[in-house]
């Protein structure tokens, strides 16, 4: 089985990483190869083209490769709510929640992730064009093996960007180095309420895979659910899971970040969340019209959310 994440050295998709590195996939009878494939449009395209069996990524980005949800299903949430943070240069002395601070700045955001920031700013009354907010790729993020948050923090330190929209690992590094200030943490901060539901971290597969190997799909879900519960029981296990994959400094940080995320480790995907996500994806042109919940979520496996 082939599983890919669009960002590896991060907290965003960590339950899937932990399921591989702590042996839960193996215990469920699966031989899973975990890879990094950046950015998320490329990750989802590889799933569509049959080069992957699963993706652990942002739920909304499935639409980048599967228009109107044709051919793909969300299996479970890795964690709830939109999970990116907005970090600006510390010398700007921006206040938490003050989104007007982005005016005239260069903000780095990954492809497929950038659309959420653009929409968030619009909902906060900021027009990126009128207010001269440049939102685009971070220098140095052109390869498929890039961990975006780490690269964004480095670019901020080097003055190549004025801020970034990325995961909590990149944000934590920027804050600890004194080069960045967290202006917005959507899960926990003063953001437009709709932005909570733009997306969430999800385990995704294809309808073809479900039809051909339903037992393997169920086993993968059980493995990820076991990883979520293991981390909830003992967040320090995140260090063990990261040790082979992460650089040393980030390995020491990950357990603290995971502990902060534990309240969001609920695998259920509700109809309300899908409806609100569809409102976002329609606004940004990813979805032409809402589709039924059952077309988006593999409901036949929903009992495994309680595993």
For residue range 142-197, list pLDDT tens digits in order: 777 888 999 999 999 999 999 999 999 999 999 999 999 999 999 987 788 999 99
Polymer length of the chain: 307
- pLDDT, tens digit, for every residue of 214-229? 999 999 999 999 999 9
Report how far residue 246's alpha carbon sits from residue 10's, in angstroms, rounded to the nearest whole number.
9
Verify that 70 and 114 share a domain, yes or no.
no
Q: Report the domain count for the chain.
A: 2
Tell me the percentage of the chain whose pLDDT exceeds 90.
94
- Distance of CA 197 to CAs 115, 177, 200, 218, Å? 14, 30, 7, 26
Q: Hey, is 77 helix, strand or coil?
A: strand
Q: Which domain, by its residues, includes 212?
A: 2-80+200-306
Report how far residue 214's alpha carbon sits from residue 221's, in angstroms, rounded to the nearest whole number.
11
Verify that 16 and 148 share a domain, yes or no.
no
Residue 193: both structure tokens together: 């309420």
Report how far residue 271's alpha carbon sits from residue 207's, in angstroms, rounded to the nearest whole number.
19
- Which element (helix H / strand E) includes 184? strand 180-185
Are the C-beta atoms of residues 34 and 67 closer than 8 Å to each other? no
Look at the pTM and tell me if it is higher than 0.85: yes
Verify that 69 and 89 share a domain, yes or no.
no
- pLDDT, tens digit, for every residue of 268-303? 999 999 999 999 999 999 999 999 999 999 999 999
Domain boundary residue, one of 196, 229, 248: 196
**Measured between alpha carbons, how far apart are the two ends of the chain, in Å?**
21
Cis peptide bond N-terminal to 13, omega within 30: no
Angle at Cα 281 formed by Cα 117 and Cα 197, nearest 5°? Answer: 65
What CATH number does the domain containing 188 carry? 3.40.190.10
CA 20 to chain centroid, in Å, comes to 17
Per-residue pLDDT at 180: 98
Mean pLDDT of 102-129: 96
Domain boundary residue, one of 142, 174, 196: 196
Per-residue pLDDT at 189: 78
**Alpha-carbon torsion, ordered 267, 268, 271, 275, to 10 deg:** -20
């Amino acid at each position: 089985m082939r599983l890919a994440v669009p960002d590896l050295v991060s907290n965003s998709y960590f339950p899937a990483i932990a399921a591989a590195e702590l042996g839960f996939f193996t215990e469920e009878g699966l031989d899973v190869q975990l890879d990094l494939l950046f950015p998320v449009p490329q990750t989802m395209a590889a799933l569509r083209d049959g080069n992957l069996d699963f993706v652990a990524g942002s739920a909304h980005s499935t639409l980048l490769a599967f228009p109107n949800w044709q051919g793909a299903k969300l299996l479970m949430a890795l964690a709830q709510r939109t999970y990116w943070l907005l970090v600006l240069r510390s010398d700007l002395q921006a206040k938490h929640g003050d989104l007007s601070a982005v005016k005239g700045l260069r903000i780095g955001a990954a492809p497929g992730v950038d659309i959420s920031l653009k929409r968030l700013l619009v909902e906060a009354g900021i027009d990126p064009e009128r207010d001269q907010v440049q939102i685009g790729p971070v220098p140095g993020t052109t390869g498929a093996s890039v961990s975006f948050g780490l690269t964004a923090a480095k670019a901020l330190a080097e003055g190549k960007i004025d801020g970034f929209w990325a995961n909590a690992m990149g944000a934590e590094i920027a804050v600890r180095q004194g080069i960045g200030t967290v202006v917005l943490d959507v899960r926990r901060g003063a953001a437009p309420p709709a932005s909570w539901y733009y997306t969430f971290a999800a385990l995704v597969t294809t309808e073809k895979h479900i039809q051909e190997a339903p037992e393997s799909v169920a086993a993968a879900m059980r493995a990820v659910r076991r990883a979520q519960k293991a981390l909830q029981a003992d967040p320090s296990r995140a260090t063990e899971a990261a040790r082979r994959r992460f650089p040393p400094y980030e390995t020491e940080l990950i357990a603290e970040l995971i502990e902060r995320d534990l309240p969001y480790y609920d695998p259920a995907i509700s109809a309300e969340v899908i409806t609100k996500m569809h409102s976002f994806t329609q606004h940004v042109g990813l979805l032409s019209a809402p589709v039924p919940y059952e077309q988006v979520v593999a409901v036949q496996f929903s009992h495994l959310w309680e595993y």
